[in-house]
Structure 1
């Protein structure tokens, strides 16, 4: 079955008089991947070990393995830490946040703008935490 774009699916939902019919007709369109599946997909595209990822993400290897195994679901902050650790692009980060059902980075929010800037300019997690702290914003960890 052909994937529908978000706008088309949204229009179809708005035009549909019956939710059950819409859901059954579009069952193939919904994202059905877990956070761990989405992270593993991104991890496979990067050339980094899980030990290095844990260090660059500011988390323990045990916690990291629990996330990748699907036994723990990371918060938005922890997901952003993982994106920094993976060297993810802004686009990869935004897509991961969206598919995990979390708020994407919103540049009109000062904190999100700082995080976005760090991703865009390849700053490390520790550099971006320093910038957040300097601007009296909540750090990522």
Structure 2
């Protein structure tokens, strides 16, 4: 089955008079990837080890492995840190955020905008955190 376009799904939702009308028809189109499943996919695609990603994401090993094992769900900032750990592009990071249920990076949000800039400049996580800190926006690694 081919993936349906978002605009097509949006149209179906708007045209429905009852929630049951679209929920049944669209059930197979909803994205339900949990972070651990998506991280496992990325390990295969990027051909890296969990320990490499955890180290590059500046996570403690115990917490990092819990994210990969599905014992803990990372928050949005930790998912972004993991994106840096995988050395994802902006497009890849936004795909990861969408697929795991988080908001994509938004250019009108100053914290997100600096991350977008850092990704486009190929900054690593430490340099990105320094940039965020410089503008008084905290850091990715210290975000709750």
Could you list the runs of 5+ residues in structure 2 that have no partner in the other structure? none
Provide the C-alpha distance between the structure 2 equivalents of 1:103 and 1:56, rounded to a whole number of angstroms.
Answer: 22
The 2-side partners of 1:38 and 1:106 are apart by: 21
CA distance in 2, matches of 1:101, 1:33: 8
TM-score (norm 1): 0.93
Superposition CA RMSD, Å: 1.2
- The answer on whether the counterparts of 2:56 and 2:85 sit within 8 Å (CA) in structure 1 is yes
Hey, which bits of structure 1, 4+ residues long, moved more than 6 A?
Answer: none
SS in 1 for 2:96: helix
Q: How many residues align?
A: 141
Shift of 1:32: 2.2
TM-score (norm 2): 0.92
Structure 1 residue 139 displacement after superposition:
0.4
Output the CA distance in 2 between the equivalents of 1:77 and 1:36: 15
SS at 2:84 equivalent: helix
CA distance in 2, matches of 1:127, 1:77: 15
SS at match of 2:12: helix
C-alpha distance after superposition, 1:55-86 (max 9, x if no partner): 11011122111111111100111000000011
Written as runs of structure 1 = structure 2, the 5 A alignment for 1:1-141 is 1-141=1-141
Given that 2:32 and 2:99 are in contact with CA atoms closer than 8 Å, whether structure 1 keeps it comes out as: no
